[in-house]
Structure 1
């Protein structure tokens, strides 16, 4: 009869643990407006985002300079022949200022190809930037969900420790009264030790997940409003 009461207590404890487990899901903890703020913060602060933007700006500047380089092959100069001077070795018909234009044909024909290449380089930089933004957004989501999962796991392990501590106290009292065996009491002590160990691992996972997320954000979670 005494052992039967002990087993009934353990069954009740198991039921309580299952209730705690059902309450440890992180799905209801997801805050999508807050997640959007996290993504916006990462896009604003993460250094790689700034590096990608600098690449786009550099490619755009190169493209613009190439577009306006049509006149590079055109060279203008002038010659001044005084009205009163006579050049016997190189006689000239026109007097005064004379404008001379020279055109580099090879450079002129190479301009369209250079412009197309600069434009494609600019487009590639924009595509790479857009691709990285999508990748960063997905990474923030993964780290955010991993952080919530770690928090849920920590809650589960913390509740399990509370249940195990309660069981140890009850079984210790029952053992002292001779209502249970030392083996059952000792097994519960081992269970408590294991639950504490699981809790420590869950704490480490939570801090690691938070660190990973804050690395992308470039700031602390508390600073994201």
Structure 2
């Protein structure tokens, strides 16, 4: 009699294990993966993440500085005027011409410096633009990593939820046989312990989903639910 009961219990566990293995084999993150949706997430991150705007502002400043440098040629020239009244005689610094006199000066050192200043300003624009491109690539890769981690966490949660359902079924079936005295307390207690462990694993998986979602939304600057 005991041998038959033991065989029945082992059959139940084997059936549950086979059912669970089929379910888990079907669990894959690829069923949630959507590249069109991923592109929307990347676009949202580029539009909302503050550092993206900082990089754009740096590009704007570099371009403005370059445009401003095109006018610094005028810095090498200066002009002024001198007024000598015709009716006055300057004994200390006698002048030949009377009236208004225009004086123009040319700073050769400043003129030779200007091409290098303009060149540096142009290179600063290129550097700012390349930094912006590099950051956008980094941000895009980070969004992809966080998105993949999020859908992986979702798949893991489904797997843990299925394990809880299987453990619950096993406990329910063993409970009836235990109450009838057909199952030992040890076997029933092991099933209860397994159910407790599976519930604990499911809670950890839920936390992983929340954490992955939070990390992704931090880059997006918006809730996932708002991005369709």
- TM-score of the superposition, structure 1-length normalised? 0.92
Distance 2:135 2:42 in 1: 13
Asked if 1:75 corresponds to 2:78, the answer is yes
Q: Name which of 28, 42, 47 aligns with 1:25.
A: 28
Distance 2:153 2:95 in 1: 93
Corresponding residue number in structure 2 for 1:92: 96
Corresponding residue number in structure 2 for 1:175: 178
After TM superposition, give the deviation of residue 57 of structure 1 in Å.
Answer: 1.2
Structure 2, unaligned stretches of length 5 or more? none
- TM-score of the superposition, structure 2-length normalised? 0.91
Distance 1:36 1:98 in 2: 69
After TM superposition, give the deviation of residue 97 of structure 1 in Å.
Answer: 5.0
Q: 1:100 is paired with a residue of what secondary structure?
A: strand
List per-residue Cα deviations over 1:48-104 (Å, max 9, x = no partner).
11111111111111222122211111112234567x6565653435x6654332111
Q: 2:23 is paired with a residue of what secondary structure?
A: helix
After TM superposition, give the deviation of residue 180 of structure 1 in Å.
Answer: 2.4
Structure 1, unaligned stretches of length 5 or more? none
Asked if 1:154 corresponds to 2:157, the answer is yes
8 Å contact 1:6–1:179 — kept in the other structure?
Answer: no
Between Structure 1 and Structure 2, how many residues are aligned? Answer: 223
After TM superposition, give the deviation of residue 197 of structure 1 in Å.
Answer: 0.3
After TM superposition, give the deviation of residue 30 of structure 1 in Å.
Answer: 0.7
Distance 2:71 2:64 in 1: 11
Distance 2:163 2:114 in 1: 73
List per-residue Cα deviations over 1:177-196 (Å, max 9, x = no partner).
23322221111111000000
Q: Name which of 115, 134, 137 aligns with 1:131.
A: 134
Aligned-residue CA RMSD (Å): 1.7
